[in-house]
Structure 1
Amino acid sequence: MDEQVRKYNTLIRELLDMISADLPGNKMVETIRRRFRVALACDRTYILEETSPEMLEYRDIIAEERWDDLIYKDWESEIDKKDDALMYEIDNRSLRDMISLLRSLWENYNDEQKAYVKKSMKRLLSHCVKYLRFKEEGKQ
């Protein structure tokens, strides 16, 4: 189970590093990276636990490689439905800006970069499912 957590966090860190390299000095990206580090310092399972519901919700799209369905989904209406943003002190405008930013990055990525993101998403899903299975079985 520890291995799944470590690998999941490493993949998230690598994706954040990739985004950060493409957007040097972007305050929103730097804030996300800083909060990621703080979350891991407090509880290394936090990111996996918090993102698992979404990973599972979209697992079919990821497994079937329907990337456009995932990237161009109407995330804005999802934001309006949830109050999670308030809990994390992120306003809806910032979330909308991040969605726009990620879509723009995706459109500008070359085939190699897109392949890396796709592979990473599949690996994240795999580690998430394994972690949840181990957790359910009571293994630690």
Structure 2
Amino acid sequence: MVILNASRRQQPASPFPKWSLAVGIVATVGANVAHGATHGVIGAIVSAWPALALVGSFELLMTLTRTAASHIQDEERIEPAQPRTEVERTPEQAVLDEYRASLNGPGRPLSQRYLVEKYGIDRRECSPQVSVLFACASQVR
């Protein structure tokens, strides 16, 4: 799993997981062959088959992972990066967004006075949407 994770992150796996995997494979195949050896060469081969099939399956999975990762890298190289443009917000929209975010956060919501001073808006000239939001919030408290 460590080797698979490293492959997905496109990083080299450290030697320890590789050695652990190799020792586990050799020990499993060796134990299976020793158990099947009492039935001759055919018995040893049949006994070794499940462990070898598991190793082959794991290697096929790693091949698929590496191939998928290389295709993603190729697509990233081919497609030019699109510049991200942010839509400019009006000061009223910024006040609304920040106030709504403060409702979900810890502590008390931000005050209308603080927000309009921060964004340089006259409280009397706030959009109706901002005024209604603050009026509703003050009634709820």
Same fold (TM over 0.5): no
TM-score (norm: length of structure 2): 0.22
TM-score (norm: length of structure 1): 0.23
Work out which structure has the larger RCO, using CA pairs closer than 8 Å and 6 or more positions apart in sequence.
Answer: 1
| Higher relative helix content | 1
Report the structure number with the largest CA radius of gyration.
Answer: 2
